Amino acid sequence: MLKTQDRLRRLRRTSAIRDLVQETRLNAADFIYPIFVGEGLTERQPINALPGQVRLPLSALAREADELGELGVRAVLVFGVPDHKEEAAGHAADSHGITQEAVRALKAANPDLVVITDVCVCGHTTHGHCGIVRDGEVDNDATLPLLSSIAVSHAEAGADIVAPSAMMDRQVAAIRARLDDGGYTGTSILAYSAKYASAFYGPFREALDSKPQFGDRRAYQMPSPNAREALREAEADIAQEADIVMVKPGLPYLDIVHRIRERFDVPLAVYQVSGEYAMIKAAAQAGWLDEKTAALESLIAFRRAGADLVITYFAKEAAAWLR
């Protein structure tokens, strides 16, 4: 009979031994960096609730692409911030809208950069909801053609991957069909599959000025107490041909990351959202925790739980720390 090995500290003795037996690793190639691009801006505009993050003018994107390249961060998630809002957000699909121009600028500067776009309308609508509002409710099926047109306009501008985040039922199928019809069979879909109605999106809504003007998003985003429902969301998106599925937010939903990883074999992304980032930044600024170790500990947790891709506002800093 084998004796139980209870001297686990042996493999913790030196840093080199610890590295040898390390089970998961962080790599800048797994990071996706979210960027905000503001229409009509002439200079970088700091985002109060997201220390260290800014709204970028189009003119700054070439330099941003270079900087990411030097750091080894190879993917971005683009959020365009339009200069005006419309009730039905028709301008979100404008081929020369801010997101579309941002995609062109990034691709022109660095064709190898993986450009992912957020496909939603909350930053474009006057009411701040993620779809078309009828009689005080977000109308699911009326929103699908709009999301599809937005996705096609992003693909046309050169996006490699479109990421629908509106949480409308059947949005992946609708977008896939329109992309294929338009000849964009090579454009991938990263589905925000398990996107929870979360308080942790607070700082992002300042960045995008996308706070709902009435009600909240609970009629379309997921309820935080539910885990099995997240598996159904992921299953539905995979059936609709999502290439990658996502869980969002990150740390409060690590169990969901793990369960989706165990159940499905598609690549899995996790989004460490604005509030998660802001909490670490704020505590570090107050001197209450060490920013670098806290941030890296949260990022490795995503990998350990089973995520392949990590969307994080720490992408650039973490890439530099990992050198």
**201 or 314, CB closer to ligand PBG?**
201
SS3 call for 191: strand
Catalytic residue among 195, 211, 281, 292: 195
Task: Name the catalytic one among 3, 85, 211, 248.
Answer: 248
Distance CA 291, CA 308 (A): 23
- Output 122 or 270, the one with its CB closest to ligand PBG: 122
Give me the least distance between CB of 22 and ligand PBG, in Å please. 29
CB of 122 to ligand PBG, least distance (A): 5
CB of 223 to ligand PBG, least distance (A): 14
First-residue to last-residue Cα distance in the chain: 45
The binding site for ligand PBG (CB under 6 A) comprises 118, 120, 122, 130, 165, 201, 204-205, 210, 217, 273-274
Query: Is 292 a known active-site residue?
Result: no
As given in the structure block, the two tokens for residue 74 are 């190879």
Minimum Å gap between C-beta 20 and ligand PBG is: 36
**If residue 194 lies in a helix (H) or strand (E), which one and from where to where?**
strand 188-195
Token pair in block for residue 118: 């957020």
- Closest CA relative to residue 193, chosen from 118, 259, 269: 269
Between residues 39 and 69, which has the closer beta carbon with respect to ligand PBG? 39
Residue for token digits 């949480």? Answer: 167
Q: Which is nearer to ligand PBG, 58 or 222 (CB)?
A: 222
Distance CA 153, CA 40 (A): 20
> Would you say 44 and 55 are in contact if contact means Cβ atoms under 8 Å apart?
yes
Which residues are tagged catalytic?
A: 195, 248
